[in-house]
Structure 1
């Protein structure tokens, strides 16, 4: 199946599709599942907790360029390869958000003095199975977007362990 509907952590309706840009050719947000030398590369947001890097697409910027920039800003990492995985739409109380999901392999990580809105990089050999109940992780890690994206990554051999 390449299309899913579910509720997110805040009970908003989420539509997730693994087809090519089903909701918008110019999404305003990106989220990047990162892998570096056999480990997952995440970042720690001071309010939300541990999550994969991501953010807003700036004016005049493509979603792909935003993904590469956000990974560098939040973790100091240089993207080696970026693969589009999916796009999702969240219909929330404050409006609709459309976000591209990418998988990135990381070439290198540079220690930086400032990581913008985060506390910098976090490397994990594996993600805990109980993320949904783990207060250290962001709400963005707790719905089906991550679960379905990981299934897609392994099923389609985008990453082989």
Structure 2
């Protein structure tokens, strides 16, 4: 009985959590690409490449363990009358976590997948995300987001053309 009530709530919470992560990640993709081109990142990637699977897993988990607890702290601050500070903590923790975890996963995915428990979890998460991505509401949201993105690109092109014409007249 309790499981029947909790499962939809947990599913909604998980969907919202992954949706926020996906939106933040999409916004941070250019920043992550820029960070990936830094020389120090190449050195760190080479060092991570020499680590074994389990030390790599430990390194992968550190940002999650350190930064995830900051979100409830940020919510607490927001709820106690400090919305800017709480929002800043949540935003900073999310940006740092997503950037670090994404970069670490990109560098060490194959090595991490040699760990049976990690591979098992990874397969289930990927299947679950595939299921979510196939849901009609999510498909509709992605279609709408693509239309908004195309419209924004069109407006930017028009704005650039207008600015160039204005600059050429002057």
Q: TM-score, normalised by structure 2?
A: 0.28
TM-score in terms of structure 1 length: 0.29
Which is bigger in relative contact order (C-alpha 8 A, separation at least 6)?
Answer: 1
CA radius of gyration, larger in: 2
Which has a greater percent of helix?
2
